[in-house]
Structure 1
C-alpha cells in the first residue's frame, strides 16, 4: 500500500496529473454561460442559416430536442441533408427540413423565401447564423465583397423578406450572430465594397459591425410590431469558420498552436448557448436591440452606437438588395 502511495506521489505522476486536471478545469471554465431553462417549442417554426455544421447545427439540434419545427438553410445540400438526418436520429423529431440557401446569391435568397412561404404561414424565430471569415478577395454572385455580402447583405435581404411572416407570427424573434470582432470594425463609407483596397481582417470586422448596426436599426423599425431582434457574440469557438484563413491551415497551427490554444476554445455546443438563449429565453420576449455574450447582455463598441452610420448602412443595403425599388413601388 505504501509503495502504491509513493508511486502516486512520484513527480513523474503528480505533475502530469496536476497539469491534466488544470487543463480540464480551464477548458470547462472557458465554455462560458449555458442556457439551462426548460422550454417547450412544439408548434413553433424556426429557420437557422448555416445549420449543417458548428454553432448552427448545435443550435438547430437543441431546438429540435425541445420540439420545434426547424428549417436548416444551407448552401451545401449534401451536408445539410446529412445534418438533418443526424438531428432527426438524435432527437426523434421528424419536423426537421433541409432547404437550399446561398447567402452569396440574392436570387437564391429570394427563391428560398418564396419556397418557405408556400410551405409555412408562420415563422417564430429566424436565426441568422451563417458566416464566412477572413476570405481572400472574393465577390458574391451579385458583385459584393464576400464577407460583407454573406455576413450582412445576404441576411439583410433574408430578414426583410421574412418580416411579414414574422409579424404575422408575433411574438417572434430575430437572432443575429455577430462577433466581438465588431469592436475592431468600422464602416468604410467611402469604400464599403472594398473596391479601392482590401484587407481580409478589416473586411471581416466591418461585416460583424454591420451585423450589430443592422440589429440596432432594425429594432427601432420593429417597435410595437411584436418582433424583437438581438445580436450576440458566441465566443471563440472551435468550428470550421476559419477554414478560409490561410494561417490556420499551416502545419504550425495544426500541429503546434491549435493544441496549445485548445483549452481556450469553446466547443460548438458551448458556442451555441447564447444563440439558444436569445432565441428561447422567455424573459427576452420584449427585449430588443441588445447584444449578448455568454447568455448575458454586454455593451457594444462605440462604433455600433453611431445612428448616422446605421442609417447609411441601411440605405446602402436597400440599394444593393433592390429593396429600395420594392418599397418605392408599394
Structure 2
C-alpha cells in the first residue's frame, strides 16, 4: 500500500495486468459505489476506485481486497467537486491504463446549505453534474480504446421529477437557493447529459446510460439538511440495501440490456422520464453551458 499526502492520494496501487477489463468507479468508498467496485473485482475486473474521505476509502479498499484477494484494485482519493481535481484524477487514471471498459459515475452529494466550490460553482451542481461531464470527457480516449462495448453508467435519480426544469437563469442558485432543488436539478442534469452523450459517441461503439438505484440506506444523507435526513429516516423501512441499489448498474456492467444506450433505467428496465428530462433542446443547451462553465474553470472540453 502506498499513502501520499494531499488531494488525490493513491491508497494502493497493484501490479499492472494485461488482457483484463478495467473499470473506473467514483464514489466507491461506501454504499452503492463500494458494492459496484467490490462485485466487479470479484468478477475479474481491474478496478480503479475513487473516494473522498480517507478513512472510508481505506476501509472500502480493505473490504474489496478481502472479497477479491486476487483482484487488482487502486483507490485514489479526490474531491470531484473541483474541476482541476477532476482533471488530476483523470490524469492518474490515464497514467495507469491505456483503456477503460467501464466508467461508473456514482460520486454525488446532497447539500445542507448553499456552498460554492473553488471554481465559484454551487457545490451540488459541480459535484453531481459538472464532474461527470468533465471526467467522462477526460476519459473518453480510454473508453474509445476499449470500444466497441465500453460503457458509461451514471447514477441518476427519480428526484429529477421533483423540479420542473433546470434553473436555466440561475444554475448556481445564487438568487434563490433550495437544497432539494439543487439535488433534483443535478439529477435532471445527469439524465440530460446521458442522453446527449449517448448520441455523440454512438458511432464510437460506446454505450451511455443512467440509473435510478432506488432509495438506498447509505451515508448519502450525512451532509444533507434536516429535510433530507428526515426523508431518509422515514423511508428506512422501505429502503433498499446498497446491494439492491447496485443491481441495475451491475446488470449493465456485466452485459445486460446490450442494446440500451441513452436510457434511464430503474429495476433493470427503462423508466419514465419527466418532460424536462426528455427535452432534446434542454440536453443540447446543458451541454453547451457545461462546456462554457468547465472552460471558465480552466478545463477546456473539445
Q: Name the TM-score class by shorter chain.
A: 0.7 to 0.9
Q: Residues of 2 paired with 1:100 and 1:325: CA distance?
A: 20
Equivalent residue number for residue 9 of structure 2: none
* 2:179 is equivalent to residue 205 of structure 1: no
Structure 1 counterpart of 2:92:
115
Q: Aligned-residue CA RMSD in angstroms?
A: 2.1
Paired residues of 1:51 and 1:73 also in contact (CA < 8 A) = yes
Query: 1:144 is matched with which residue: 113, 116, 121?
Result: 121
Aligned to 2:15: none
* Correspondent of 1:174 among 148, 152, 167: 152
Mapping 1:209-288, distance limit 5 Å: 209-247=188-226, 258=233, 261-284=235-258, 286-288=259-261
Q: 1:302 aligns with which of 266, 269, 275?
A: 275
| Residue 292 of structure 1: aligned partner | 265
Q: Report the count of equivalent residues.
A: 281
1-structure distance, mates of 2:130, 2:300: 16
Number of the residue aligned with 1:184:
162
**Mapped partners of 2:65, 2:301: distance in 1:** 40
CA contact (8 A) 1:136 1:244 kept: no
8 A Cα contact 1:178 1:233, kept in partner: yes
Q: Secondary structure at the match of 1:176?
A: strand
Which aligned runs of 4 or more in structure 1 are off by greater than 3 angstroms? 323-328
Equivalent pair of 1:138/1:145 in contact (CA under 8 Å):
yes
Shift of 1:326: 3.8
Can you give the 5+ residue segments of structure 1 that lack an aligned partner in the other structure?
A: 1-41
User: How has the CA–CA distance of structure 1 residues 178 and 108 changed in structure 2, closer, same or farther, with 3 Å as cutoff?
Assistant: same
Counterpart Cα distance in 2 of 1:311 and 1:300: 17
Structure 1-normalised TM-score?
A: 0.80
Number of the residue aligned with 2:294:
321
* Rg (Cα) greater in structure: 1
Cα distance between partner residues in 2 of 1:79 and 1:327: 32
Flag the 1:326–1:136 CA change in 2: closer, same or farther, 3 A. Answer: closer
Other-structure match for 2:5:
none
The structural deviation recorded for 1:273 is 0.7
1:54 aligns with 2:31: yes
Q: Which secondary structure does the structure 1 equivalent of 2:172 belong to?
A: coil
Report if aligned partners of 1:242, 1:248 keep a CA contact under 8 Å in 2. Answer: no
Once the two structures are superposed, residues 153-183 of structure 1 have per-residue CA deviations (whole angstroms, 9 ceiling, x without a partner) of 0111000111111011112000010000011
Q: C-alpha distance in 2, partners of 1:236/1:79?
A: 21
Instruction: Find the aligned partners of 1:145 and 1:261 in 2 and give their Cα distance.
Output: 27
- Correspondence 1:44 to 2:21: yes
Residue pair 1:69, 1:95 contacting (<8 A) in 2 also: yes
What is the alpha-carbon distance in structure 2 between the residues aligned to residue 325 and residue 129 of structure 1? 21
| TM-score (structure 2 length as normaliser) | 0.88
Q: Deviations over 1:74-104 (max 9, x none)?
A: 1223321221121111221330111122111
Evaluate the alpha carbon distance shift between residue 277 and residue 145 of structure 1 in structure 2; reply closer, same or farther with a 3 A threshold.
same
Higher relative helix content: 1
- 5+ residue gaps, structure 2, are 1-18
Deviations 1:35-92 (A, max 9, x none): xxxxxxx810001101000010011111111011001111223321221121111221
Task: Give the Cα–Cα distance (whole angstroms) in 1 for the partners of residues 227 and 170 of structure 2.
Answer: 28
User: Quick check: 1:135–1:147 contact (8 Å CA) kept in 2?
Assistant: no
Q: 1:196 aligns with which of 156, 175, 178?
A: 175
Of the three residues 102, 107, 113, the one matched with 1:125 is 102
Partner of 2:3: none
Q: For 1:238, what is the secondary structure of its paired residue?
A: coil
Tell which has more relative contact order, 1 or 2 (C-alpha 8 A, sep 6+).
1
Partner secondary structure for residue 203 of structure 2: coil
